[in-house]
Amino acid sequence: MNTIKNVFSIKDLENLSGIKAHTIRIWEKRYKLLEPERSETNIRSYNLINLQKLLNISFLNSNGLKISKIATLNEFEIAKKVNQISFEGDPKNHAVNAFKLSMLNFDQELFYTTYNQLLEEKSFREVFYEFFIPLIQQVGVLWQTLTIEPSHERFFTVHVRQKVLIHIERLQSRNPRPDTKTFVLFLPINEIHDLGLLFINYELLSRGYHTIYLGESIPISNLNTLNTLYDDVTYISFFTVKPDVEKLDSYLKTIYNEVLENTSNTLRVLGTRLKDYNPKKLPKQIDIFSSIESLVKDL
Q: Which domain holds residue 194?
A: 174-297
Task: Name the residue among 203, 205, 186 with its Cα closest to residue 271.
Answer: 186
Percent of the chain with pLDDT over 70: 92
Whether residue 209 is found in the same domain as residue 291: yes
Tell me what pLDDT residue 144 has. Answer: 61
Whether residue 187 is found in the same domain as residue 276: yes
In the predicted model, what is the mean pLDDT of residues 76-95?
Answer: 72
3-state helix, strand, coil in the chain (%, to 5): 55, 10, 30
Whether residue 197 is found in the same domain as residue 275: yes
In the predicted model, what is the mean pLDDT of residues 245-270?
Answer: 92
Lowest mean pLDDT among 2-6, 60-64, 150-154: 2-6
In a domain, 165, yes or no: no
Which residues does 177 contact at the CB level (< 8 Å), separation at least 6?
208, 210
Whether residue 135 is found in the same domain as residue 103: yes
Q: How far is CA 203 from the centre of its chain?
A: 16
- pLDDT greater than 90 at residue 108: yes
Tell me the pLDDT band of 1, cut-offs 50, 70 and 90.
Answer: very low
In a domain, 169, yes or no: no
Percent of the chain with pLDDT over 90: 42
End-of-domain residue from the set 160, 188, 210? 160
Whether residue 180 is found in the same domain as residue 291: yes
Whether residue 249 is found in the same domain as residue 192: yes
In a domain, 167, yes or no: no
Higher-confidence residue of 31 and 48: namely 31
pLDDT tens string 127-180 = 999 999 988 888 876 776 667 788 888 999 999 999 999 999 988 876 656 567
Tell me the pLDDT band of 281, cut-offs 50, 70 and 90.
Answer: confident
Q: For residue 240, give the CATH number of its domain.
A: 3.40.50.280
Whether residue 124 is found in the same domain as residue 232: no
Rg of the chain's alpha carbons, rounded to an integer? 23
pLDDT tens string 230-246 = 888 999 999 988 898 88
- pLDDT greater than 80 at residue 2: no
Contact by Cβ (8 Å): 110, 64: no
In the predicted model, what is the mean pLDDT of residues 252-259?
Answer: 93
pLDDT tens string 17-33 = 888 999 999 999 898 88
End-of-domain residue from the set 89, 108, 126? 89
In a domain, 6, yes or no: yes
Whether residue 16 is found in the same domain as residue 83: yes
Whether residue 15 is found in the same domain as residue 100: no
Whether residue 197 is found in the same domain as residue 290: yes
Whether residue 42 is found in the same domain as residue 54: yes
pTM of the model: 0.76
In a domain, 168, yes or no: no
Whether residue 82 is found in the same domain as residue 97: no
pLDDT tens string 169-192 = 988 876 656 567 899 999 999 998
In a domain, 227, yes or no: yes
Which residues does 132 contact at the CB level (< 8 Å), separation at least 6?
160
Q: Please give the tally of structural domains in the chain.
A: 3
Tell me what pLDDT residue 145 has. Answer: 66
